[in-house]
């Protein structure tokens, strides 16, 4: 009988769970243990994506994860109201856990909850209770951590899922309603109609700081529900909050570093910077890295650790180059545009062709797409745009 190999994953969020799931599906003799500091795997979250963000060969795998899907969505701005025929999907923590639970019950995925990690390396994890766990490979999926080589702005949100007494009338998602009052940054309302009487209403801010004034935002959500959606009789079913990183710049020496000390755990998810730099969407990147890790283990079985480490180091470097243009767009949004008129940048963008918008979310923009985004009358002052254009110069100023 072939010997079982073991993988330890630190962090039971989206990326950790997707990777564990994909790995045990692809590798029948692999045993995965997830270490999570809270009492619950998967948290209490909603993750959305365009169906076209996921490559066709991976869509079959993630099909059970899709809790809701709509054939199109809306965007609303003061001078633009558009419906885009791009299928939009949402998953959530309960749906994710329904996919994972059979493997936990079968003993393929083991869990350690309510325990933190004090130290770890490529093959060992020391828990805060002093216990040491050994593995053939350790993956670090703890979520985002501050880094002096990564310069950030933030996307902050509070969401209310409500149950209405009568049909709310919204047929398709509104992924951006920027007709609302702007407060110290780009603000928009995000609405997902789960059923005729259930809807998520989320108030989102693209801001320079990470302070989340949740009570103030709660009141603005209530006002939007009453004044914009015209809903008066409803009950609050669920409340969700979050602060996500939006990348403005990454030091090149850090982003292109491919040295391997042989001691560090492989990073996944937000910990590794695997999210869309502009939108903050993390689901497509989590799928992509989960598939890559599982395939590398299968292809290099049973001695997969070194090849996995090598390929994931270069995967992270490739991500640095892939997101270069997106980081530029963020500098235009956050540093070239005044806070109260940042919405104009997005208002102009959503007037572009549907195919370009799809490729933007996929982070697969062509050279012509990039020229089209930057051409024409700019929605930001030219001098400020040029001042923030060069990433290296931007970082130097930020550090001084």
pLDDT tens, position by position, 1-46: 456 799 999 999 999 999 999 999 999 999 999 999 999 999 999 9
CATH for 150-248, options being 3.30.1360, 3.30.470, 3.30.70, 3.40.50: 3.30.70
Please compute the mean of the pLDDT values over residues 303-318 and round it to a whole number.
96
Beta strands in the chain (DSSP E): 5-10, 30-36, 46-50, 68-70, 73-77, 80-84, 88-92, 109-113, 117-120, 124-127, 132-134, 137-140, 150-164, 174-177, 186-193, 198-207, 234-250, 266-267
Please compute the mean of the pLDDT values over residues 98-110 and round it to a whole number.
97
The pLDDT score that the predictor gives to residue 164 is: 98
Q: What is the DSSP string of 252-278?
A: HHHHT-----S-SPEE-GGGGT-S-TT
What's the whole-number average pLDDT of the chain?
Answer: 95
Edge-to-edge strand order for the sheet containing 132-134? 117-120, 124-127, 132-134
The domains of the chain are located at 5-66+91-147+253-322, 150-248, 324-399
The pLDDT tens digits of the residues spanning 323-333 come to 999 999 999 99
Distance CA 76, CA 365 (A): 23
**What's the CATH superfamily of 5-66+91-147+253-322?**
FAD/NAD(P)-binding domain (3.50.50.60)
Distance CA 271, CA 8 (A): 16
Distance CA 291, CA 318 (A): 16
Counting residues of the chain whose pLDDT is more than 70, the rounded percentage is: 99
Please compute the mean of the pLDDT values over residues 300-316 and round it to a whole number.
96
Please compute the mean of the pLDDT values over residues 174-178 and round it to a whole number.
98
Q: Indicate the pTM of the whole model.
A: 0.95
The pLDDT score that the predictor gives to residue 183 is: 86
Distance CA 224, CA 19 (A): 38
The pLDDT score that the predictor gives to residue 377 is: 77
Instruction: Using the structure block, give the residue that is written with the tokens 């963020």.
Output: 330
The model's confidence at residue 376, banded by pLDDT at 50, 70 and 90, is confident
First to last CA, the chain: 60
Please compute the mean of the pLDDT values over residues 363-391 and round it to a whole number.
91
The model's confidence at residue 161, banded by pLDDT at 50, 70 and 90, is very high
Please compute the mean of the pLDDT values over residues 147-166 and round it to a whole number.
97
């Amino acid at each position: 009988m072939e010997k079982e190999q073991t993988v330890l994953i630190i962090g039971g969020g989206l990326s950790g769970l997707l990777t564990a799931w994909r790995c045990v599906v692809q590798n029948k003799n692999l045993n995965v243990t997830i270490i999570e500091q809270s009492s619950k795997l998967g948290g209490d979250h909603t993750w959305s994506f365009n169906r076209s963000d996921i490559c066709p060969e991976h869509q079959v795998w993630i099909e059970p994860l899709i809790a809701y899907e709509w054939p199109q969505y809306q965007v609303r701005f003061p001078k633009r109201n558009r419906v885009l025929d791009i299928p939009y999907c949402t998953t959530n923590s309960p749906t994710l856990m329904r996919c994972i639970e059979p493997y936990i019950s079968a003993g393929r995925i083991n869990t350690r909850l309510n325990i933190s990690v004090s130290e770890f390396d490529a093959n060992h994890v020391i828990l805060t209770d002093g216990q040491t766990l050994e593995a053939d490979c350790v993956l670090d999926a703890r979520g985002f951590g501050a880094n002096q080589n990564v310069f950030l702005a933030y996307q902050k949100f509070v969401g209310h899922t409500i149950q209405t007494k009568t049909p709310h009338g919204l047929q398709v998602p509104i992924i951006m309603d920027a007709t609302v009052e702007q407060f110290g940054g780009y603000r928009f309302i995000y609405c997902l109609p789960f059923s005729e009487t259930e809807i998520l209403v989320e108030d989102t801010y693209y801001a320079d700081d990470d302070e989340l004034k949740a009570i103030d935002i709660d009141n603005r959500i209530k006002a939007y529900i009453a004044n914009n959606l015209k809903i008066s009789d409803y009950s609050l079913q669920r409340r969700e909050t979050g602060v996500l990183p939006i990348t403005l710049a990454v030091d090149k020496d850090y982003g292109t570093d491919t040295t391997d000390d042989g001691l560090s755990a492989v990073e996944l998810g937000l910990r590794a910077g695997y999210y869309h730099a502009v939108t903050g969407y993390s689901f497509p990147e989590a799928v992509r890295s989960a598939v890559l890790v599982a395939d590398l283990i299968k292809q290099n079985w049973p001695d997969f650790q070194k090849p996995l480490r090598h390929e994931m180091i270069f995967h992270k470097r490739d991500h640095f180059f892939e997101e270069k243009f997106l980081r530029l767009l963020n500098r235009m949004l956050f540093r070239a545009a005044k806070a109260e008129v940042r919405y104009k940048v997005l208002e102009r963008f959503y007037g572009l062709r549907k195919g370009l918008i799809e490729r933007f979310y996929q982070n697969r923009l062509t050279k012509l797409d990039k020229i089209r985004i930057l051409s024409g009358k700019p929605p930001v002052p030219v001098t400020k745009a040029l001042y923030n254009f060069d990433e290296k110069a931007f970082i130097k100023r930020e550090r001084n």
